[in-house]
Amino acid sequence: MENQQQAEIKQGTRLREIIAVMRKYHFISNFYHQRDPEAICNALQELGPTFIKLGQILSTRPDLVSADYVRALRKLQDQVTADSFASVQQSFEEATGKTIAAVFKEFDQEPFASASIGQVHHATLLDGTPVVVKVQHPAVTQLVNTDLALLRRAVKMVKYVPANTVVVDLDRTLDEVSSSLLSEINTLHEAHNGEEFYRLNNGQGIFAVPKVYPAYCAPRILVNQAMTGKSIRQLFTASTDEEQERNRSLATALVRNFMKQVFVDHFFHADPHPGNILFATAPACQLEAGWEFQHSFKHTEITYQQQRSLPPYRLIYLDFGMMGRLTPVMADGIAEVVLALTSKDQHRIAQAVLGICNQTGELDQLRFTKELAGFMRPYLAEGLGQIDFSNMLYRIVRLCEENHLQIKPEVTMLIKAFGTLESTVARLDPDISMMAVARPFGLAYLRRKFKARDLADDSLFKLWSVLESAGQLPERIDTALDTFNSGDIEVKLRYPGQRQLLKQVERVANRLLVVIVLAAVILGSSLLIESSTRHPHIYHLGVFGYAISIGVIIVLIVSELWHRIRRWHNNKK
């Protein structure tokens, strides 16, 4: 009972601390209106590890916050004081049921990195294999759950903020970020992701992925193969022609591998920032598969593959806490978006965007196509290689929401990852266009999806249908003219804003009907009062009619004022 009271007091103290910091930096108002991102960063830093991690996750979600917030939140650092070795030993034993000495031949007592969720140590397995061991800080899961619960309570204060200038949906933002954070602190989930990513990408060209040792993993404990290398951001300042040529090759390889993850594996790294990609030297004598030729003859398939030497370096992916997965149907939609963007066909872009959205309300497709075309025109004019992807994505999401459309979460994660990787490859090779590299992958994916023979069969069938219909065309025209002459043709017209106009006409008609009824009631009440000097009951009935009429008139006036105020607010938005 005493422990429960202490926990309640601790939760209450933490809530007061969160509210005090939020008031100090006007957190709710600033975040709600996407103002003063530096104040938000200071507040998150002051609130501690959980909130720093929340800010870092938000910095990878340009669909949830503005481009200014994305840039500011990327500067958040989560270096925290490391736990003592005694604490690490206790955490390891509680999670695995074994001592560190029983599992590892060597274990560095000092971590080489310590972040908000946990710290990482170099170690050696009993068979001599070098590994890195990630150990969560004690009670970090309980701390995260407590902070999220308290933050959700604090967000309720948003009801006191005027809603006419809303920019961010706080409830949706908190749901998305909470899901990402809870997934990231689940080490077993990260281990499964690492195993799958290793199987799909390790040894694919110049790419290497650390091996996961699931036998040694447990809740709060993750054991991976030790990988040597330096962050790819150290290559951004290339000076010589040789270094620049190497960076161009690295940029192209990164984009090609990411497209493979999307269109072949349907499983992609959702946070490919420079800190999660290492560069390491390697022997130049290793071989990889080069170009491949395939041909099918009857029931026999012939494959010819040429091998080539790999360059003397490798790119290594790290951190698999945040991964994305696509269904084949969703991959079809992504391929359509890529091809539409590279073709710069505005109508096709609108149709492709509709294919990756959920409809949340009434949609005027013609209006959405027109608005999206107007929005995309300057971006397409300046060239895909020069597009500010984060800002474009944020504005597209807002445009979709205004038209009762919501981009599907897996697509949002993919576009976020695409934008993160784009900023990296742009530093390696400013001239590269990810969309230009993505186009061949989109075409190849659609070719695999819809085989050439099937397309040829479909084309022949359509051609035969057209020729067959062409022979019946004179007869159909004659039938249509007869129908027109007989007056049996019904023509349906539709124009933009038709529903709104019809609603307005219906509203005016209803008001007119009410006014006519009111006039009749007032006239009848006047006659009753005028002729009821000797009949008090009839007099009271006339007065009651007057009262009803006055009440209805007041309601009509208030309703009209409220309607005008709402329309004024909507126009102001």
DSSP 515-569: HHHHHHHHHHHHHHHHT-TT-HHHHHHHHHHHHHHHHHHHHHHHHHHHHHHHHHH
The contacts of residue 143 (CB under 8 Å, 6+ apart) are 49, 50
Q: Residue-wise over 351-368: b if at least 16 C-beta within 10 A, else e?
A: ebbbbbbeeeeeebeeeb
What's the rounded Cα separation, in Å, for the pair 511 and 504? Answer: 11
C-alpha–C-alpha distance, residues 64 and 57, integer Å: 10
State which amino acid sits at residue 71: R
What is the predicted pLDDT for the residue at 166?
A: 43
Q: What is the CA radius of gyration of the chain?
A: 33
- Among residues 113, 112, 116, 121, which one has the least CA distance to residue 78? 116
Strands 230-231 and 287-297: unpaired
- Which tokens go with 409? 């979460």
What is the 3-state secondary structure of 76-124?
CCCCCCCCCHHHHHHHHHHHHCCCHHHHEEEECCCCCEECCCEEEEEEE
Q: So what's the pLDDT on residue 5?
A: 36
| DSSP character at residue 491 | -
pLDDT per 10-residue tile (average), the chain, 573 residues:
40 78 84 84 81 75 74 71 89 92 94 84 95 89 80 64 49 70 82 95 93 93 93 87 90 90 90 89 63 53 64 91 85 80 76 82 82 76 58 74 79 78 84 71 66 51 58 65 62 60 72 78 74 70 77 80 74 57
Question: What is the torsional sign of CA 551, 557, 563, 565?
Answer: negative
Block residue for tokens 């590279």:
342
Determine the pLDDT at residue 215: 92
The residues, any chain, with a CB within 8 Å of residue 255's CB and separated by 6 or more, are 421, 425, 432, 434, 437, 438
Amino acid at 434: M
pTM of the predicted model, to two decimals? 0.67
* Backbone torsions φ then ψ of 324, nearest 5 degrees: -120, 150
Largest CA distance in the chain: 119
Question: What is the model's pLDDT at position 450?
Answer: 59
CA end-to-end span of the chain, whole Å? 53
